[in-house]
Amino acid sequence: MKHTKHFWRSGKRSSSDYGVRWQAQRDTALDKTHSVGAMKNTDKISWPHAPLHELSARGTYFVTAGTYLKEHYLSSAERLKVLHRGLLAVAEDFGWHLEAWAVFSNHYHFVGHSPDEGAQNLGDMLSVLHEKTSKWINRLDDSAGRKVWHNFWETRLTYEKSYLARLNYVHQNPVRHGLVPVANQYPWCSAGGLSEQRDQLK
């Protein structure tokens, strides 16, 4: 891979804290696509420990991934920059076309179109991103072997209304978290590029 082996490297090993005020609203707009339990009988419910990933179909997906125990491991501008660059790099390498994305100190979201052959490589793509960023962050913090990422959740978007709602949710997430007054002012989000495209069409 020509991108993923370099994206986590940085000329700086630390930078000023960008703040950790954002996080409480992540789950409010997620589709309840994956059941959290399966009814075994009228008295017993089985609760799985990880989300069920059904990724055989080609399509457009809304994806969220979070850090272990929601810790703010990316709470600096430099770390957010590395995660941002890394997400775009692995998406290109694995054939995903991202329509919207936003990265934060302990989670990220994106809306993306899978490769023509289907979405089966999503797990592998995110594993590369998480492995590279985990090792880089743990080197900075002198915490070798520490678990940084927890899991990811995906929802296949099959209706235009749902697709547009997720695009808006991702782009407006920095505003909802109180980080910026206008979405295109947040550096680690696709809203800025979308705003530039709109300006060019005027």
Backbone dihedral angles phi then psi of residue 113, each to the nearest 5 degrees: -95, 130
CATH classification for the domain delimited by 58-201, as one of 3.30.70.1290, 3.40.1400.10, 3.40.50.1370, 3.90.180.10: 3.30.70.1290
pLDDT one-digit tens code per residue, 155-199: 999 999 999 999 999 999 999 999 999 999 999 999 986 544 434
Average pLDDT over residues 37-56: 46
* CB neighbours of residue 78 within 10 Å: 16
pLDDT digits (tens, 9 = 90+) for 5-27: 556 554 443 333 333 333 333 33
The more confident residue out of 115 and 50 is: 115
Instruction: Reply yes or no on whether the pLDDT at 141 is more than 90.
Output: yes
What is the value of pTM for the model shown? 0.73
Q: In degrees rounded to 5, what are phi and psi of residue 100?
A: -155, 150
Over residues 58-82, mean pLDDT: 97
Q: 200 or 119: which carries more pLDDT confidence?
A: 119
How many Å apart are CA 134 and CA 140, to the nearest integer? Answer: 10
Mean pLDDT of the chain: 79
